Amino acid sequence: MNGRLVHTAFSDQNPIGKRIRLGKDNTWRKIIGVAGDIRFRRGGADRSSLEWVSSPRTYVPYSQAIGEGFSPVNRRLYFYLHATRLPSLEELRQQVETLSRNVPITDYNPLTHLIANEQRQPRLRTTVLSAFALLALLLAALGIFGVVSQSVTERTNEIGVRLALGALSGQLQSMVMQQGLCIATAGLALGLIASLTFLRALSSLLYSVTPTEPVSMSVGCAVLLAVCTLGSYLPARRASRIDPMVALRYE
């Protein structure tokens, strides 16, 4: 049995040596070990669900599983091969016959192919969602750059006045960038709070990652912060280099 069944049937007590049966018509079986949980894709007839769940499972020896409907081992055999190439079906049959003539081999697939086929749909969905996420990040970056650039450009008159009063170009650029980064930092903080609130709803759709994946969060924040910095620096640099008299007449 697996850990999920131990938690369900024995309340996390040590089950070794105890007996269990799957239904009143099945035989009692003695528990000799506990295996780790594995996650299965939950889906209906269309198998379109993205949820992955752990369910209670039992495992029995092959010799005891013949005729048991709950166990798949009477339909599949797994071979671990040390080879530089995949054997043909006929070669595999010949090798199996040397061990037992009572095991018919009708077809075989490498486990890597089975895993890849099982992961094909989730991988496609992940790729599509990742593409949309990157597009959303790009649109957000362009929007932030445009807003910050426009706000700095509208301060050209103010920058001209400061230049006419003796302010240095480097000081003006630092001032504008500091103000822009303060606004960007506040926006990122609010965005992180909102994202952490809504990302909890995605926990059931993720496998082996958490909704608050630090790498993804860090990359997104770094990209948006870099865009805000660039959006503040370029217009401020351009405005600080124009002639003060031109800037004073700017509308």
Does position 207 have pLDDT exceeding 70, yes or no? no
Tell me the mean pLDDT in the region 208-236: 78
Q: Could you report the per-residue pLDDT of 18-33, keeping only the tens digit for each?
A: 888 877 777 788 888 8
> Tokens 């930092």 sit at which residue?
185
Average pLDDT in the chain: 76
Q: Could you report the per-residue pLDDT of 119-170, keeping only the tens digit for each?
A: 788 788 888 988 998 898 888 778 877 877 787 777 777 777 877 788 787 8
> Tokens 């007590």 sit at which residue?
13
**In 3D, which of 201, 196, 192 has the Cα closest to residue 225?**
192
What integer pLDDT is reported at residue 45 of this predicted model? 47
Whats the size of the chain, residue-wise?
A: 251
